[in-house]
Structures are given as structure tokens and as C-alpha cells.
Amino acid sequence: MPAPGDNATSSSGRMSSGRTSINPRLSDGPAVRADAPPPEALAQQVHAGDRAALSRAITLVESTRPAHRRDARALLDACHPPAEGSVRTAVTGVPGAGKSTFLEALGTRLLEENPGRRLAVLAIDPSSTRSKGSILGDKTRMGQLASHERAFVRPSPTAGTLGGVARRTRESILLCEAAGYDTVFVETVGVGQAEVEVHAMTDVFLLLALAGAGDQLQAVKRGVVEMADLVAVNKADGERTEAAENARAEYESALRLFPVPETGEHPPVLTCSARTGGGLPEVWQAVQAFLEKSRAQGLFEKKRKRQARRWLRHAVEERLRDAFFEDETVQNALPELARAVEDGTTSVPAAAEKLLETWQRGNAAPDR
Ligand SMILES: Nc1nc2c(ncn2[C@@H]2O[C@H](COP(=O)(O)OP(=O)(O)OP(=O)(O)O)[C@@H](O)[C@H]2O)c(=O)[nH]1
Ligand SMILES: [Mg+2]
């Protein structure tokens, strides 16, 4: 049984064996232990439900180094076909909406209710950076959950690469499922592209809202409300109870202004308090009701298929981009063309065209 501390291993590089600074390239991604097993062996450990191995596997898929990307692909391939029967829930909301407190309370409750359940939380955390790292329990407010033996809590620092890390989250979800975690939550803060990405990798999208402070207007503006399958106005406790109830009614009428979603119904809007636990069972019931409906209408499957197609497209785009920028002829030609566009002696489209031609020539099949 891994120590609870295993959960605290973020991709901050603390898993490294101290190889830094001599080769500057070593600092361009999270360090993966030098004694890391080959991908197939790692996949076996993940399948066996080994939390430390799962942590290491996620660190590997988050790495941007070309060799690690190759290993990550082999690892993901070895974890295929994916485990069935999992449910992926996105929990989004502005910073401080109470997402982590909510997941700590709800997660703990769900684990108590069902002794067979295994629950993972992947928190995309824009406030943490690799160099800073963080003590997970304090940082994510999920200390109790993080030390539960049937839970796995993992913050993904996003520092500067929001979209990128969010994409890796999809791979991390698969790894968690391969390790036997059937209930997967993705906590994401309402910042642009990450939310769209997370929406495209989950089965149900829960917006945790707040009363006042222009929260509603912001959410509508950012397009988050449109993505929500469910809205819960959090912090409905103490003197905020009435304000939360008013906000609930406002969200409800705001949602009616949007077209009716595929399910044929506008998303339900509830109130809850992550602090007192009030309303949490109702929120979870509403999540279940949405999923049941979505399954009955065939939308669940349809959505997963659509997501798989989208992922394929992204995977190809990413491979092409990597192959392009890693290509030696491109790397040789790039500095001069970059200078030319800086000086204005070449237009950007013309320079891009030249680079692509260089690449295509370098990759053309040899004459037979
Ligand atoms: N009164 C009250 N406070 C809450 C509730 N939920 C969370 N809080 C408080 O709100 C603050 C932020 O909570 P978090 O759970 O860290 O919020 P978060 O959305 O995860 O924040 P980020 O991860 O930073 O985006 C903390 O001080 C919590 O104690 C609630 O239901 N009622
Ligand atoms: Mg949080």
C-alpha cells in the first residue's frame, strides 16, 4: 500500500533524481525518474492499481520531452482498451468558488457510501508552478480525500501552458481508469481554453457558481454557462443563503435564454454548501439523473465517440507539430527566416511556406 504522501507527488519535478542544470534540455519538462520502468511494465503496475506507478505514469504523459512523449504513447497504448463503466465529471467555476472544498466533501461522502468505489480528482491548477511545487493537502483543500486509500488526488500545474496541460488531462483520465478509478473528477478553473478542453473529455459538466460579484455575467460571457449540464450555486450557508437562492433563480432564467440542449431540457440549477454539506446529495442526484438521461437517449455514447474523434484529430495535429519543429532541416532554417520576418524583409506567410517546403523536401520519399 503506498503511503498517503504518494498523492502529494505533483509533476513539480520532485520525482527527479536531481539531474538538473548541467544539460539545459533537462529542465524543459518534468523529470521522470531515471530508474522508471519501461512503458509496458509501468502499464502493468498501473493496471494493478499501484498509486505510485499511476503518479509516475501521469508525470510521464505530462512531460514535453520527445523521448518521454514516445514512452507516453507506448504507455497509453499498453493501457488500451480503456476500462469500462467509468464516469468523468468536470467541476468548474471561478477561483475560490469552492470547487476543491466541494470535491473534498462530496468525494469523501461518495467513498463512504460505496465501499467498492475508487475516486480520482485531477485538479488543473493554474496557480501552482513546477518550480514552486506545493504540499498538496494544503494547496488543494482536499487533504482528507488525498489521504483516503481509495482516492487519488493529483494537481496538474499549468504555469503558462493551460491548453497543453488540459490536453494531457485526457490521457491522465485514461490512466486513472486503467488503475481502477471508476469515478473521475476534473477540477478546472474558469480560464479560457482549458474549460473547452475539459468539456471535451468529460461526460457531465458541473458549473459551481457564486452569488453576486458579477459571477453570473462573467460565466455567461465566458461561454461557460452554455457548456454546463448542471449549475450549483455554492456557499449557500449562513448569511449567504438568501443571496445564493436569488442567484439560483437568476441563473435559471439566464439559462432559458440559451437554446435547449440535446437532452431536451435546460440544465437544472441548485444551491449547495460545500462547507456544511447541505445540498450535496441533491447535486449528486442531479448529476446521476443527467447521466441516466444521457445514457437512455444514447447521448452518453455519442458524446464519447465524438470526443474520441476530436482526440484523434488533436493527436495527429500534435504529432505533426512536434515532428515539424523537431526536424533538423526546419531547425536549421528557422532562425534566419525568423530574423527575416522580424526585419520585415519576408512576409510571415511566405516564411511559413518556405519552412513547410523545407520540411516536405526533407521528408520526401527517396527516388526509386
Ligand atoms: N461559506 C462557505 N465557504 C466556502 C464554501 N466552499 C468553499 N468555501 C471557502 O471558499 C474558499 C475557496 O475554496 P476552494 O475550495 O479552495 O475554492 P476553489 O474553487 O477550489 O479555488 P481555486 O482552486 O483556487 O480555484 C475557502 O476559503 C473555502 O473554505 C461554502 O460552501 N461555504
Ligand atoms: Mg481548488
Question: Would you say 118 and 151 are in contact if contact means Cβ atoms under 8 Å apart?
Answer: yes
Question: Would you say 226 and 258 are in contact if contact means Cβ atoms under 8 Å apart?
Answer: yes
pLDDT at 257: 87
Question: Would you say 58 and 175 are in contact if contact means Cβ atoms under 8 Å apart?
Answer: yes
Q: What is the mean pLDDT of the chain?
A: 83
Q: What is the pTM of this model?
A: 0.84
Q: Which of 4, 37, 30 is nearest to 15 (CA)?
A: 30
- Sketch out the chain's domains with CATH numbers: 83-297 (3.40.50.300), 305-363 (1.10.287)
pLDDT in tens, 333-349: 999 999 999 999 999 99
155 close to ligand 1 (CB < 6 Angstrom):
no
96 close to ligand 1 (CB < 6 Angstrom):
yes
145 close to ligand 1 (CB < 6 Angstrom):
no
pLDDT in tens, 153-191: 998 765 445 455 677 889 999 999 999 999 999 998 766
Please give the torsion angle defined by the CA atoms of residues 314, 318, 321 and 326, in that order, rounded to the nearest 10 degrees.
Answer: -170
188 close to ligand 1 (CB < 6 Angstrom):
no
CB atoms within 10 A of CB 28: 9
pLDDT at 83: 79
Instruction: State the cell numbers at 254.
Output: 439566464
Residue closest by Cα to atom 6 of ligand 1: 98
Phi/psi of residue 355, nearest 5 degrees: -60, -45
Closest ligand 1 atom, residue 101 Cα: 15
Which of 57-66, 127-136, 342-351 is the least confident region? 127-136
Q: Which of 10, 104, 108, 141 best tests ligand 1's pocket when mutated (most atoms within 8 Å of CB)?
A: 141
Residue closest by Cα to atom 28 of ligand 1: 98
**Percent above pLDDT 90 for the chain:** 58
237 close to ligand 1 (CB < 6 Angstrom):
yes
SS3 content of the chain, % helix, strand, coil (to 5): 55, 10, 35
**Percent above pLDDT 70 for the chain:** 79
176 CB contacts (<8 Å, ≥6 apart)? 54, 120, 122, 152, 184
Question: Would you say 93 and 189 are in contact if contact means Cβ atoms under 8 Å apart?
Answer: yes
Helices and strands in the chain, H and E counts: 15, 7
